[in-house]
Chain A
Amino acid sequence: MSAIVFTLRHEPPERLDLSRLVPDVLVELTKSEIEKIEIGTTKYGSRVGDIFRVKGNNAANVVFEAGSARFDGVGTGMTSGEVRVAGEVGAQTGRLMRGGSLLIEGDAGPFAASCMSGGRLEVRGNAGDRLGGPLAGEMAGMKGGVVIIRGRAGERAANRMRRGLIAVGKGSGDYAGSRMIAGTLVVLGKAGAMPGYLMRRGTIVLGKTPTELSPGFVETGAPEIAFSGLLDRWLVDEGILDKPLLGRAPRRWGGDNAVLGLGEVFVKG
């Protein structure tokens, strides 16, 4: 059995909803049924066969041979298997993902990993705003799993995050970790203004000392803790860090005291 490969025939004429092109759905469909899936979102009414050439039959391994900023909802709700996009994607990549592995080789749009609860999403390029965050009306953002952004993240990365881990390689926009409920956000490179803004609980690890924290944060010194060694080791093992970042006694701020105040921001001590 070979991977199911979607080859782009031409740049899509409209935004596409690719949320059904995941292993859990494709495993029950024949090639002709897959080609009839409606993926258009406007009057064009695009179907899979109009936009992609489809080959292969192993639904556990799905490959998009090219990407487009019009690919929305890639990997939505997947529970197992692998999905790889050899290019960029649009909004809500990996939304509600529960398991399996999703690799985006280019950039991802806004709301990547939105409300994800398990599995692993890796984006080789940059991610848009509100990485892992909830859509309007939802109470919490990401609830589990691992997200690795090799490039930069937009504003409000890990917004309303509840559990899981997000690691961003090359900096983020403003308000990283805003309103976090819990969970872990690692931002290497430079984070924008006010990381941890209104966070309740949770951990934000910054590669560089922040220029501006929310006024509700208070420095708590640099006590020696074992957790930083544990996190360092895991980040190195995962290839997110080359060498340990925090060390045994990282510098720490507690906050945001404007809300619950049980969150924390770490930088190297």
Chain B
Amino acid sequence: MSKLTVRGVEIEDTFAEAFGMKATAVIITAPTLKWARQAAITMTGFATSVIACGCEAAIDVELPEAQTPDGRPGVRVMLFSMSTDELQKQLQTRVGQCVLTSPGSACFAAMEGADEMKLGSALRYFADGFQISKKIGGRHFWRMPVMDGEFLCEATTRMTRAAVGGGNLLLLAETSAKALVAAEAAVAAIEAVPGAIMPFPGGIVRSGSKVGGKYKGMMASTNDAYAPTLRHLPQSKLRPDINAVLEIVIDGETSDAVAASMRAGIAAVTKLGPARGAKGITAGNYGGKLGKFHYHLRDLLP
């Protein structure tokens, strides 16, 4: 495959292949940003991949007091899943176990879309008949008495069917440390893009996967072509000077958000240059047959 070079970083002329997903979002507020973030981090724990977590979820943006419904600091959290039912189940259990329980929290709808997702209208039964229904400005809220006051939760949020999951960048570097520096730069740049999340730890995946495996029942297994210790095998795609590869996986509310995120990530990695960060950038695909969305790296150069 041909290569493009930007500031000394080689960019393979290939594409990331991504899938249509369903997504919903909520705003979590708390008395302080620290506790809004804590509730969000707890709620999005164990939500890296739909392969085994049920959903992919992470914080999208932090919101100042002026931009939240109750005038307290907050964060917007997005959840992605393949099925509507699974998304509803994940939203309900995660808000119920992780946000309802977090000190001083409140939870509001933060997604547009045709489909409704139950939020407070499913959780209100926790209040055992002491819940209070309130309609303010055309929006419906439930207030549930709890030990530090009340859990305020909007009755429903919405789901979009236009979401995209699985946008990705593979960063190829000389050492693990350099790969991590490049990946952290990409994550920092993508965090600033609204409507996109990176669900893996700190936004970074080290165990990129291929579809299927030699063992029965494995939906995904290690990406042997990019594992440096398997460079001696014929399927390896690594040059001799590459000793570490890290992947950034991006889920977006829209296809444009994924493209904007990948563009921001490539810009950050190329700005860093090959001496400090990654020597090469590529992307994962399945030959273009599985995913509806293709993001060609040559279209996303800075």
Contacts and interface: CB of A to CB of B under 8 A. Distances in A.
8 contacts: A184-B134, A224-B31, A225-B149, A225-B152, A227-B150, A230-B69, A238-B137, A248-B31
Q: Say which size band chain B's interface belongs to.
A: 20 to 34
Contacts of A225: 143, 149-150, 152
Contacts of A227: 70, 134, 141, 143, 150, 152
Contacts of A201: 132
A231 B150 CA distance: 14
Interface string B57-77: 000000000000111100000
Do most interface residues of chain A lie in helix, strand or loop, or is the interface mixed? mixed
B63 to A, nearest CB: 14
A166 interface: no
B102 interface: no
A213 interface: no
Contact of A226 (B29, B130, B135, B137): B29
A186 to B, nearest CB: 11
A74 interface: no
A225 B104 CA distance: 8
A226 B134 contact: no
Contacts of A244: 71
Interface string B116-151: 000000000000001011111100010100001110
Interface of B: 29, 31, 69-72, 104, 106, 130, 132-137, 141, 143, 148-150, 152
A231 B136 contact: yes
A45 to B, nearest CB: 43
Contacts of A223: 148-150
B136 A226 contact: no
A148 to B, nearest CB: 13
B71 A182 contact: no
B contacts with A: majority SS = strand
Contact of B106 (A226, A232, A237): A226
A234 B106 CA distance: 16
A237 B141 CA distance: 18
Interface residues on A, range: 20 to 34
- Name the residue in A144, A203, A225 with the highest tally of chain B Cβ atoms < 10 Å from its Cβ: A225
Most buried by B among A163, A226, A231, A244: A226
Nearest to B29: A226
A234 B69 CA distance: 9
A101 to B, nearest CB: 14
Contact of B72 (A184, A203, A229): A229
Contacts of B31: 224, 248
Given A227-B141, A227-B152, A203 B70 contact: no
Nearest to B153: A226
B293 to A, nearest CB: 38
